[in-house]
Structure 1
Amino acid sequence: MTSLGVKMLGAVAVTGIALAAGASPATASADSDFALESAGVSAYGSYDMMMSIPERPVPPVAVNGTLAVNAPGRCGVVQIATNGPADELVWRTFAALCTPGKTTAQTRSELLWGGFKPRLRLCVGTTVARAERGRVCDTYTPPVD
């Protein structure tokens, strides 16, 4: 192979590695409690048990994390399970993103959960409304303490 061919092959290889590195999905850190991934979108983060005093009650569990869209043309939503009417499970969206990149996600669980860590899910669609329908999802159920 000629030196020009070797240089071109090297340039193509370096370009491919750079593109692959830029398109790699977001990964959870070592201190993450949950990690979700579905169709080019990922979310990771942690639960924090909140303390409450009778004079100033706060919800018992805080959820902090990151939502990352790793592919164009996708929207991702992170939802938390809450108690709905007649004790049905209802998913409430607390983070959404429709462009490649990352955003922070924070919420507090409702008082009805009584201190338990609520379930989370990451759903994907072409719009936020379609993602919220919950057809393409990854669900995280925390272990019982």
Structure 2
Amino acid sequence: MIALVLAGAMLAAAPANAFSLSTAGASAYGSYDRMMSIPERPVPPIAVSGTLAVNRPGQCAVVQIAYNGPADGIAWRTLSGLCRPGKTNFRATSQLLWGGAEPPLRLCAGPTTRIAEQGRNCDVYRP
């Protein structure tokens, strides 16, 4: 019973803008914020910051954010990548997608960075 109460308290303490992704020996976590802008100093409306962690030797992982690709399609921009056990921080800003949608984030893993960037083994965060 005490464990359930503690787990509930920990879940309640997480901010609404937090994200957590995991796949194949890698994880990413951090914050996804909608920014306010003023005409005198415009800023991109989306700000993402977090940590990418690889937990398994021989594993590569990338964190990517969606953007408007050619012909109104979705493309993915790599924010950070790591190909050894350890952690690295990332920070990026982004525009909204067509129609005003907030761009999703994804964590993808593979034996190389290039294969991870192809998006075959991923976990996706949709705000």
Taking structure 2 as the reference length, the TM-score comes to 0.81
Residue-by-residue CA offset, 1:79-126 (whole Å, 9 max, x unaligned)? 001111121011110010111011111111125567643211100011
Residue 107 of structure 1 corresponds to: 92
Residue 111 of structure 2 corresponds to: 126
Q: Which runs of 5+ in 2 are unaligned?
A: 1-12
Residue 8 of structure 1 corresponds to: none
From the two aligned structures, give the one with the greater strand fraction.
2
Cα distance in 2, alignment partners of residues 84 and 52 from structure 1 = 24
Q: Verify the 8 A CA contact 2:63 2:78 in the aligned structure 1.
A: yes
Cα distance in 1, alignment partners of residues 26 and 124 from structure 2 = 13
Cα distance in 2, alignment partners of residues 85 and 41 from structure 1 = 30
Partner residue of 1:98 out of 83, 90, 110: 83
Taking structure 1 as the reference length, the TM-score comes to 0.72
Residue type at the aligned position of 2:30: G
Q: Say if 2:11 is the partner of 1:30.
A: no
What RMSD, in angstroms, separates the aligned Cα atoms of the two structures? 1.9
Q: SS of the counterpart of 2:115? A: helix
When residues 94 and 113 of structure 1 are mapped into structure 2, their CA distance, relative to the original with a 3 A threshold, is farther
Q: SS of the counterpart of 2:108? A: strand
Q: Say if 2:44 is the partner of 1:62.
A: no
Cα distance in 2, alignment partners of residues 116 and 107 from structure 1 = 17
Q: Verify the 8 A CA contact 1:47 1:117 in the aligned structure 2.
A: no
Compare relative contact order (CA 8 Å, sep 6+) and give the higher one, 1 or 2.
2
Q: C-alpha displacement at 1:61, in angstroms?
A: 1.0
Runs of 4+ in 1 over 4 A off after TM superposition: 111-116
Count of aligned positions: 114
Q: Verify the 8 A CA contact 1:61 1:116 in the aligned structure 2.
A: no
Q: Which runs of 5+ in 1 are unaligned?
A: 1-28
